[in-house]
Amino acid sequence: MQQLQAKSLEMRTPQATKTAVLVIGGAEDKVHGREILRTFFGRAGASDAYITIIPSASREPSIIGGRYIRIFEEMGANKVELLDIREREQCEATFIQASLEACTGVFLTGGDQLRLCGVLSDTPAMDIIRQRVRSGQLTLAGTSAGAAVMGHHMIAGGGSGESPNRSLVDMATGLGFIPEIIVDQHFHNRNRMVRLLSALSAHPDRMGIGIDEDTCAMFERDGWLQVMGKGSVTIIDPTEVTHTNEPHVGATEPLTIHNLRLHILSHGDRFHLYQRIVLPAAYRIS
């Protein structure tokens, strides 16, 4: 009888879900295996998941939002909601705050990272997301522009095809979910190594994370990130830098940076953000 009660309790209580932050390089598979989106779905609670989609970066919020709604509904999420926040004032609305307080997963779509930050930063809605991500109540994912906003410093735009220099990249302030990193997305696909190097020259106290398309750096709360998907995650670690020429904003002279550490990670590889340990996929951590 006691056994039956315990069994029944177990079935009613949702399995404790290990939350995570998924930083996706854009163009993630939405059709076939959907490895990355499926992992987000799982980490948000699987069939118990209440997923809130924020398409504020996009100019076509209902189209892009609708697509993700269908995907997560198909996977079997308990509830999927679209919060099309267009204006900062909407972040005061009770129903928006209620959704963000109750959901188990937030998904930030692609579009324009400056628009996304303009709408969300320093709002009550943003405070709720940040606090719940930090305390492990909420799994967060961002793709493309939604990935760019993850750090405190954000790449707003930039060029390629020239020697690394400070004028090559425009920096702004991101949403700071993982303040230690500067993210660049569509990374090798759009030849962005140079702009990430330029960004790091301005902020050598951060870790550069370049994420390819259909690829994800999934950050656990203990500092480990793990790579998923078909491309690579490039980590540029300036911790041991011995010299830079510290170019000022807009400077066009070529950068000098000595003693960066560079890791090219692929599927299953792990990196610890604070201890700066890198582990191959084959190496199991308990």
For a copy of itself, the binding residues (CB under 8 A) are 160-164, 188-191, 193-194, 197, 212, 215, 230-232, 236, 242-243, 245, 253-267, 269, 278, 280-281
- If the CB atoms of residues 130 and 263 are measured against a copy of itself, the closer one turns out to be 263
What's the angle, vertex CA 256, arms to CA 253 and CA 258, rounded to 5?
A: 175
- If the CB atoms of residues 81 and 214 are measured against a copy of itself, the closer one turns out to be 214
3-state secondary structure labels for all residues of 93-128? CHHHHHHHHHCCEEEECCCCHHHHHHHHCCCHHHHH
- Residue from 99, 186, 198, 201 carrying the catalytic annotation: 186
For residue 160, the minimal CB distance to a copy of itself (Å) is 6
Rounded Cα distance, 251 and 230, in Å: 36
Active site annotation includes 186: yes
For residue 267, the minimal CB distance to a copy of itself (Å) is 7
Type of residue found at 260 = L
- If the CB atoms of residues 107 and 187 are measured against a copy of itself, the closer one turns out to be 187
CA-wise closest residue to 22 among 218, 174, 213, 208? 218
Task: Let me know: does 202 contact 249? Beta carbons within 8 Å.
Answer: yes
For residue 206, the minimal CB distance to a copy of itself (Å) is 16
CA dihedral 55, 194, 208, 60 (to 10 degrees): 0
- If the CB atoms of residues 41 and 187 are measured against a copy of itself, the closer one turns out to be 187
For residue 126, the minimal CB distance to a copy of itself (Å) is 32
CA-wise closest residue to 225 among 181, 175, 282? 181
- If the CB atoms of residues 93 and 260 are measured against a copy of itself, the closer one turns out to be 260
Beta strand pairing call for 139-143 and 105-108: parallel
CA-wise closest residue to 41 among 79, 8, 92, 6? 79
For residue 111, the minimal CB distance to a copy of itself (Å) is 22
- Residue from 144, 198, 201, 232 carrying the catalytic annotation: 144
For residue 254, the minimal CB distance to a copy of itself (Å) is 4
Active site annotation includes 246: no
Active site annotation includes 258: no
**Separation in Å, CA 121 to CA 31, 56, 74, 162, 255:** 32, 12, 31, 33, 31
- If the CB atoms of residues 20 and 265 are measured against a copy of itself, the closer one turns out to be 265
Task: Tell me the two tokens of residue 26.
Answer: 């854009």
Catalytic residues: 144, 186, 213
